[in-house]
Structure 1
């Protein structure tokens, strides 16, 4: 069975919800899945004052955890069209893994959240995917086999590069069922791909 890590950073819980949907999809394809988060870099008193979701069920990952998986799916909210500083700080510590080629040939994927439809979803996905490719990973996106991303009757997330959701400027919009379907679909594809590469 393929081992999949869903590794995320979520300030307000939107990406946490998407991470659990990615995991659900991967498990539906028979993978063993762990959901973990990167460390928070904002002091707790500031995070609480700004209404961060500070109590999340997922354990905090270490860089050493990464090489124990056949596939790694990264998720984060967008910061000015790129990944959050928390996720960047974590990935900046993977130089040793890169040097040893520890993740070469493994499966990588990405998912994100933005405040608005045009808030940088695709550039943020690529900011994650670029790191995964430098680490030697094989990328799985969200193909149009998830046709929900083509919906025009409502606001939906989704891009061929990964699952996405839109939180709204005040964070009040939660991932829709179509957004969650996209996340589950991508998770399933990641697990299926990993199973083929690591039978």
Structure 2
């Protein structure tokens, strides 16, 4: 049997989507792993998205299916990605979390592998608190939380500004969203995907 992984994200301008694709690509390198990339339903109306300049950016991942929170239990591992809003996940991702109450009551995610990734506008814009706050969702569901160990040496760089921490991969977007994920940040995301998939495969085999 294959190990099933869901990579689920919310993204306005595509930064978190790029991390999601990097995570998924490396997870697929692990033998026997199936990866599904999904996005959280957008709750902002098109008029608001247009004023934010996000409509055009969202076209790049409009083909990605919307995640159904009721189907999370199908996966052996779940990786969740979100932008940062005052040190926490976006309201769209929070709403997705809130829709999993039935799974929590049934203990449907207990023992499954979970991880998180994020973005923030600035280097100290709250990405680490966003990652940690998202991990509390995983803990409440009884999941096995997997981060990014320092074997991902890209975390150690001081030669450039970079996201990425032991809590999960991340990227810095710039205040106007013009900074795309760097090669260093994408390398950390790829490490996270493969590392999480390897652990999920080992647990699923038992």
Partners of 2:137 and 2:22 in 1: CA distance: 23
User: How many residues are treated as equivalent by the alignment?
Assistant: 199
- Is it true that 1:131 corresponds to 2:137 in the alignment? yes
Segments of 4+ moved more than 3 angstroms = none
58, 62, 75: which one aligns with 1:54? 58
Question: Considering only aligned residues, what root-mean-square deviation do their CA atoms show, in Å?
Answer: 0.8
Aligned residue number for residue 6 of structure 1 = 7
Normalising by structure 2, we get a TM-score of: 0.95
For residue 119 of structure 1, the aligned residue among 99, 105, 125 is: 125
Alignment deviations for residues 11-46 of structure 1 (CA, whole Å, 9 cap, x no partner): 110000000001011101131000000100101121
SS class of match (2:58): coil
Distance (whole Å) between structure 2 residues aligned to residue 44 and residue 86 of structure 1: 15
Structure 2 gap segments, 5+ residues each: none
Does structure 1 retain, via aligned residues, the 8 Å contact 2:9–2:39?
Answer: yes
Give the secondary-structure state (helix, strand or coil) at the position aligned to 2:117. Answer: strand
One of 169, 176, 179 as aligned partner of 1:173: 179
State the SS of the aligned residue for 1:28: coil
Unaligned runs of 5+ in 1: none
Query: Alignment partner of 1:18: what SS?
Result: helix
